[in-house]
Amino acid sequence: MLLKWVVRELLRNWKFSLFFIFNLSLGLSGYVALEGFKTSLQEKMNQNAKAILSADLSISTRREFTSEEISQIDKIVGADTWRSRAYEFFAMLNTQQGSRLVLVRAIDENYPIYGSIEFASKKKVLGSDKKEILLSPSIWIYSELHSQLGLSAGDAVQLGSLKLTVADVVEKDGTQTFRAASIAPRVFINRELLKQSGLIQYGSTFTQSFFFKIADEIVVEKAKSQLLESFKDPGIRIDTSKSAGQESGRQLGYLQDYLGLVAIVALFMSSLGAAYIFRLFLVERMREVAILRSLGMQATTAVSIYVVQVVILGTLSLFPTLIVAGAILPFFSKALNVFIPFDLEPAVSGTAVALALLVGVVGSLVVCLPFLLKIRDLKPIKLFSEEKFSNEIEVSKFWPFLPGVFAFWVLAMTQANSIKIGSVFIIGFFSVLLVLFGSGLVLLNLLKFVRVFQSWVLKYSILGISRRKTSSLAIFISLGLGSLLINILPQLTVSLENEFKTEETSKIPSLFLFDIQDDQVKPMKDFLQLESISSIGFSPMIRARLLRVNGNDFERKLEEGQVFRTREEETEARFRNRGINLSYRDQISDSEVIVAGRPFAGVFNGNTQKHAELSIENKYADRLGIKIGDIIHFDVQGIEISGQVVNLRKVKWTSFQPNFFVMVQDGVLNEAPKTYITALPKLPEVKKNELQRALADKFSNVSIVDVQRTVDEVLKVAKQMNWSLELMAILALFTGYVVMYSIVSSQVRLRRWELNMLKIVGAGFGSITGYIVTEFLVLALGAGLIGSALSILVSYGISYYVFEGSFVWDWFYPLLTALGVCFLSVVVSFLASRRVVRESPLVILQEER
Amino acid sequence: MSLIVKNLCKSFYQGDDKVPVLQSVNAEIKNGEIVAIVGESGSGKSTLLSLLAGLDRADEGQVIVDSFDLSKLDERSLTKFRGENIGIVFQQYHLVSHLTALENVMLPMEILKKDEAQERAHSLLKELGLEHRLHQFPSRMSGGECQRVAIARALAVRPKIILADEPSGNLDVQTGEKVMDTFFNIIKKYQMTTILVTHSEPLAKRCQKVLRLFQGQLLEA
């Protein structure tokens, strides 16, 4: 009987059913599309894991392995195991057409152990194949160098002191993970040529890796745990194809996390819309429920009818969700494919479908819970009273909303892969709701005192807003939230673009030089003087390793666990595993500012000071949990030095000035082996290119970064990311507007009796429409302005804390948003009220039994 | 204001079946006359009243109020005409829930831009014995009080015609009598043409003329 009743009611109210499904599926589709994309990407990554790592097991470090370490590796992995050894580092490639920073991979005859490299000449090289670059002094170049410098097979190039011929152009590198990950195109050379190239010198930054072929997965895992056991140095990284596949997928992870959060916003908005529609549906059913109850139906049975209805509708919304998600997915792929080295044909996976079903059904139940509880609490005695049936939720009884809040919190954490980000997001989100609620309440209370209008339309619409608090607040919050969401992305984009633009016109350098040897500083200074160029200053850079903080060993963490559960764990492990560059200077640069503590007290004095003074970049300190006063021990080329943190610095990294995470007091590291970095001020394009070539020619081991090119690359990547974020924001926006339409039209529908009553007492059609439009316009104007203002605050917060950039206020988007929300509210309320006004008043009065 | 009903016909559909409710109804109600329409449930009393009020359209026939043929007026003109000339009292009161008693009564006057709306609403409510309930919302008032507010609202613009559909139908006998006493006093005072649909014989007897609706025809009782 129950199911029959449920189905009959849903079919008879097919408009409600369809609208509910439409609302819910809109929000779900973004979420499902993203899940589908993530799953497809991860599956593809796992499939290609061996090729990406180009081995079953790899061991790498950013220094030379010691002979003891190599013996240990041989002992664990087996001296006769099939292996390859490679170096990777940045260097300048000199050609007749110009110089370009490249990422050199110096390989041997067994590389790549897995995967292949495909060339423009249609050749394909596997690990077992003979390689042209190993037979003659030649080089393989990535296709970017062909397009940027016009290099082709047969052209002569210079790399350090090596004179090489381009053997072929790489079209597809199976060992590459993400294209946008590197700012320099890759080239391959023979490892045997490294020595004579002079490219790797003392202090040079490079990575050395061993790649092994071990067919048995169990042996791989065993070898990995033995290696982890043997090497306590967190700077030695051990990867298996399994972990490489998982981690490669994560490189797009942060973008996916944020896309996920936007998807949740869309989901929240659509749930809000669905809940609203459900509420309206229930208002119309309340009398029937009361009758059923008076006829003997139990409260639980009455609730069950509507629970089953919600479950059915939640399940049915899966179908349009899959259709919309399937339509969105290609756009996702298009937005993100520049980052992915292989063809990805994402499809909505079984996992995504299961998740959609879960979120659709559980989500619907959770958002409709407050209204379902109203059915449970409905007293049939109401049938005897003259009071109308309502389904308004008293704001003070907020607990039925808590499961919904909790569900969104869990979703946010899983989407962001971070308890912290997920929680901050939810706290931020609900704080915004609270602010909107508070400001809405203030607005409604202020409107109570507005009594100046002569026109009944204005007078009674203002009166209506302030008297119908619950519905007015719900509309106000929805519109405010919509305005806020619409506005955040454009605000952030403006700030981000401005950040680069400002620097470009003022202090951003043209070239950034690193790996300058101690003995090259003077000749380089002389050379620059001859060229009438003043460098920003030469900053020493000393490679070191963090040993202890306050006496606690700073050891490898979590590598054994393979998979990081949260982004925080991943970040912490990454930071711990990295070596660190120390520097010193007598005063802070223009691009940094001390945010806590005091400046250095002059030059280090070994007689009076036990520890050197340290200055730490504030975010770095935050990640590692370092505070002012902490004692830190470093290993500098085998010598242990200690320092005490005296200040925390905020660094403006986008200034592209030479800056460091850790600065040591002057007088401590002055004698340590070091390299230098420097930046050259803005130069005309021709001069810059000439200088770059001359520098690469004269100081072949020095790497030069073309800053403007890098900025362009960063902006290109940012734009590409923005594109995908915009795609999701458009979905959130569209959902927001649909929800707004749902709310406005359902509100008008709820009040159709009142509107017809006005008609009966003589109000004209225009006046009635004006009455409704005024109400929504006032609410939309208030919500639009407050939502837009809040979006400025939120964007400021994100700019400040996430991008560390200076915030630029842009009035255009907030104004546009506020006006847009007003316009849409006017249009929707106009259309909705017109429909009601056209109905015969008699029909509506007869409905009102 | 006189009211003439000529050959009024109205049918409803039940599925594919056409059910005639009013069949060539004719009547003439003179200016200031108080008329009761009685009849069994389902005889079409409320349908007739809604046609007289211009809330519904007849299939055939005319409703002429003074020289205005309501069937010839478009929706907008009809709304304007009704607002200025016809006051309706519903059995269910139909008050706007978020407006106070005073505001509910002021509303039609303000819609028609009548002067001194507040004073008139105040005085009407006082006349109906609701001086102490001016600022109460309908949800806080009894059925009798709500009906008195509804009567005050119908009388507010001093319409020429009052149409009342079972005005005491939702009230107990005692309250109903009290409310109707006041109602009759006022309509007599302002000489309003009144048509009252009722099941109550005693109420019908208080009217100057009683018409019975029987098998779709209006007959003098």
The whole-angstrom separation of Cα A849 and Cα A356 is: 41
Q: How many A×B Cβ pairs under 8 Å? A: 70
Q: What is the pLDDT of residue A454?
A: 74
Q: What are the CA-CA distances from residue A148 to residues A145, A153, A184, A342, B163 (Å)?
A: 5, 14, 12, 22, 88
Return the minimum-mean-pLDDT range out of A584-588, A628-632, A802-806. A802-806
- Is the confidence at residue A274, as pLDDT, over 90? no
The whole-angstrom separation of Cα A618 and Cα A626 is: 9
Q: Do A762 and B92 touch (CB under 8 A)?
A: no
Q: What is the pLDDT of residue A435?
A: 92
Q: Residue A112's beta-bridge partner residues?
A: none
B189: CATH: 3.40.50.300
The whole-angstrom separation of Cα A847 and Cα A749 is: 13
Interface test with A, best of B10, B82, B96, B147 (most A CBs within 10 A): B96
Return the minimum-mean-pLDDT range out of A86-95, A195-204, A757-766, B106-115. A195-204
Mean pLDDT of A29-40: 79
Task: Give the sign of the dihedral formed by CA B117, CA B122, CA B126, CA B130.
Answer: positive
Query: With pLDDT > 70 as the criterion, what percentage of chain A qualifies?
Result: 83
Query: With pLDDT > 90 as the criterion, what percentage of chain A qualifies?
Result: 8
Contacts of A764 in chain B (CB under 8 A): 76, 79-80
CA distance to partner chain A, nearest, from residue B6 (Å): 21
Question: pLDDT, tens digit, for every residue of A512-523?
Answer: 888 888 888 999
- Average pLDDT along chain A: 79
- Is the confidence at residue A813, as pLDDT, over 70? yes
- Is the confidence at residue A240, as pLDDT, over 80? yes
Q: What is the pLDDT of residue A393?
A: 55
Q: Considering only residues 103 to 122 of chain A, which have any Cβ-Cβ distance to chain B shorter than 8 Å?
A: none
Q: What is the pLDDT of residue A689?
A: 81
| pLDDT < 70 positions in chain B | none
CA distance to partner chain B, nearest, from residue A832 (Å): 18
The whole-angstrom separation of Cα A737 and Cα A119 is: 50
- Is the confidence at residue A788, as pLDDT, over 50? yes
**Among A468, A759, A761, whose Cβ lies nearest the Cβ of B107?**
A761
Task: Check if B24 contacts A (Cβ < 8 Å).
Answer: no
The whole-angstrom separation of Cα A577 and Cα A561 is: 15
Q: What is the pLDDT of residue A725?
A: 63
Neighbours of A650 (CB within 10 A): 14
Q: Residue B89's beta-bridge partner residues?
A: B164
Write the secondary structure of A429-495 as one string of H (helix), E (strand) and C (coil): HHHHHHHHHHHHHHHHHHHCCCCCCCCHHHHHHHHHHHHCHHHHHHHHHHHHHHHHHHHHHHHHHHH
- Is the confidence at residue A762, as pLDDT, over 70? yes
Neighbours of B136 (CB within 10 A): 16
Higher pLDDT, A784 or A252: A784
Which runs of E-coded beta strand occur in A153-226?
A: 156-159, 162-173, 186-190, 206-212
**Angle at A49 (CA atoms; ends A44, A55), nearest 5 degrees:** 160
Q: Residue A117's beta-bridge partner residues?
A: A125, A173
Task: Check if B143 contacts A (Cβ < 8 Å).
Answer: yes
- SS3 (DSSP) at B94: coil
Q: What is the pLDDT of residue A562?
A: 45
Mean pLDDT of A469-487: 81
Q: Do B88 and A760 touch (CB under 8 A)?
A: yes
Task: Check if A383 contacts B (Cβ < 8 Å).
Answer: no
Q: Which residue has the tokens 């007015």?
A: A472
Mean pLDDT of A355-364: 82
Q: What is the pLDDT of residue A340?
A: 65
Please report which confidence band the pLDDT of residue A572 belongs to, taking 50, 70 and 90 as the band edges. Answer: low
Interface test with A, best of B46, B79, B90 (most A CBs within 10 A): B79
CA distance to partner chain B, nearest, from residue A294 (Å): 21
Helix (DSSP H) and strand (DSSP E) numbers for chain B? 7, 10
Among B108, B50, B49, B116, CA closest to B84? B108
Mean pLDDT of A430-448: 89
Task: Give the sign of the dihedral formed by CA A464, CA A470, CA A471, CA A474.
Answer: positive
Please report which confidence band the pLDDT of residue A181 belongs to, taking 50, 70 and 90 as the band edges. Answer: very low
**Among B55, B97, B157, whose Cβ lies nearest the Cβ of A760?**
B55
Contacts of A753 in chain B (CB under 8 A): 94
The whole-angstrom separation of Cα A92 and Cα A81 is: 34
Number of residues assigned to chain B: 221
Question: pLDDT, tens digit, for every residue of A308-339?
Answer: 998 999 899 989 988 888 888 887 777 666 66
Task: Count Cβ neighbours within 10 Å for each residue of B183-205 and write b for 16 or more, e otherwise.
Answer: bbebbeeeebbbbbbbebeebbe
Please report which confidence band the pLDDT of residue A244 belongs to, taking 50, 70 and 90 as the band edges. Answer: low
Higher pLDDT, A536 or A532: A532
Q: What is the pLDDT of residue A87?
A: 92
- SS3 (DSSP) at A170: strand
Q: Which domain holds residue B180?
A: 3-220
Q: What is the pLDDT of residue B177?
A: 86
Interface test with B, best of A468, A760, A769, A844 (most B CBs within 10 A): A760
Among B49, B104, B65, B56, CA closest to B192? B65
ω into residue A112 within 30 of 0, thus cis? yes
Mean pLDDT of A828-842: 79
CA distance to partner chain A, nearest, from residue B190 (Å): 19
Interacting residues of B147 by C-beta distance below 8 A, sequence separation 6+? B89, B93, B167, B168, B170, B171, B179
Please report which confidence band the pLDDT of residue A558 belongs to, taking 50, 70 and 90 as the band edges. Answer: very low
- Is the confidence at residue A559, as pLDDT, over 80? no
Interface test with B, best of A761, A769, A771, A842 (most B CBs within 10 A): A761
Interface test with A, best of B80, B97, B172, B197 (most A CBs within 10 A): B97
Q: Which residue has the tokens 């907008």?
A: B76
Q: What is the pLDDT of residue B47?
A: 86
Which strands form B3-14's sheet, in the order they lie side by side?
A: B17-29, B3-14, B60-65, B68-69
Q: What is the total count of domains within chain B?
A: 1
Task: Count Cβ neighbours within 10 Å for each residue of A192-216 and write b for 16 or more, e otherwise.
Answer: ebbeebebbeebbbbebbbbbbbee
DSSP structural state of residue B54: T
Q: What is the dihedral of CA A533, A526, A511, A170, to 10 degrees?
A: 140
The whole-angstrom separation of Cα A219 and Cα A76 is: 10
Please report which confidence band the pLDDT of residue A796 belongs to, taking 50, 70 and 90 as the band edges. Answer: confident
Neighbours of A331 (CB within 10 A): 16
**Among A464, A763, A840, whose Cβ lies nearest the Cβ of B111?**
A763
- Is the confidence at residue A571, as pLDDT, over 70? no
The full set of domain ranges for chain A reads 1-47+250-417, 49-249, 420-504+718-849, 536-680
pTM above 0.80, yes or no: no
Furthest CA-CA distance within chain B? 53
Q: Do A463 and B99 touch (CB under 8 A)?
A: yes
Which tokens is A445 given?
A: 């209370």
- Is the confidence at residue A248, as pLDDT, over 60? no
Please report which confidence band the pLDDT of residue A643 belongs to, taking 50, 70 and 90 as the band edges. Answer: very high
Please report which confidence band the pLDDT of residue A97 belongs to, taking 50, 70 and 90 as the band edges. Answer: confident
Task: Search chain A and give the residue with CA nearest B87.
Answer: A761
**Among B94, B110, B146, whose Cβ lies nearest the Cβ of A757?**
B94
The whole-angstrom separation of Cα B159 and Cα B87 is: 6
Please report which confidence band the pLDDT of residue A489 belongs to, taking 50, 70 and 90 as the band edges. Answer: low
Higher pLDDT, A816 or A336: A816
- Is the confidence at residue A555, as pLDDT, over 60? no
Contacts of B83 in chain A (CB under 8 A): 761-763
Q: Considering only residues 464 to 493 of chain A, which have any Cβ-Cβ distance to chain B shorter than 8 Å?
A: 464, 467-468
Task: Check if A459 contacts B (Cβ < 8 Å).
Answer: yes
Q: Which of A251-260, A300-309, A503-512, A552-561 has the highest mean pLDDT?
A: A300-309
Task: Search chain B and give the residue with CA nearest A766.
Answer: B76
Q: What is the pLDDT of residue A384?
A: 56
CA distance to partner chain B, nearest, from residue A309 (Å): 28
Question: pLDDT, tens digit, for every residue of B125-140?
Answer: 998 889 999 999 988 8
Which tokens is B110 given?
A: 């303000």
Higher pLDDT, A547 or A643: A643
Mean pLDDT of A389-399: 59
Helix axes B101-111, B117-127, angle to 10 degrees: 130
CA distance to partner chain A, nearest, from residue B45 (Å): 14
Task: Check if B110 contacts A (Cβ < 8 Å).
Answer: yes
